[in-house]
Amino acid sequence: MPVEVVRARGHPNVRATHPITLEITRETHLTPRGDCIIAVGADKGARDLSEAFKRAARREGARIIITIEVPSKGLRATVEARGHPALSFEHPTDIVVRKSDYVCGRTVAIKADKAARDLPRELIEALRDPRAQVLVRLEVKEPD
């Protein structure tokens, strides 16, 4: 099944307190108001994901496993979510995972079991280091 790896970095203003979403962005500037953003300076936005990934994520019942890792610290968290036929993958800078079923051009997965505030605080602390290299792995699995 299709796998995408997004490379990003940490930022001192990562708060990760949003109760419904988590976001990775190509933007490099982050204000404290961006409470769903967990990594900046990403090498991909939603529209940059492969066509194979997009097709697989749009299959009814597709499962998407998101792994967020700071390899230098040996820290990792996994989020399980769902794909949806309405995912458009249009946004040039943002990748958003949602607990809700809301879909827009930034959304790459819905009905997630975790949002930004649910991630381990030790991982979030590591994501506040601007030198931290962050790997976000997005993998589409067959429907249950």
Domain residue ranges of the chain, discontinuous segments joined by +: 3-141
Give the model's confidence band at 1: pLDDT under 50 very low, under 70 low, under 90 confident, else very high.
Answer: confident
The domain defined by 3-141 folds into: Jelly Rolls (2.60.120)
The pLDDT assigned to 87 comes to 98
The pLDDT assigned to 144 comes to 65
pLDDT in tens, 60-106: 889 999 999 999 999 999 999 999 999 999 999 999 999 999 999 99
Q: Is the per-residue pLDDT at 32 higher than 90?
A: no
pTM across the whole model: 0.95
The pLDDT assigned to 140 comes to 97
Region 6-22: what's the mean pLDDT?
A: 97
Q: In the structure encoding, which two tokens stand for residue 129, read together?
A: 């280091």
Mean pLDDT computed over every residue of the chain: 96
From the list 126, 143, 103, the residue with the least C-alpha distance to 21 is 103
pLDDT in tens, 110-128: 999 999 999 999 999 999 9
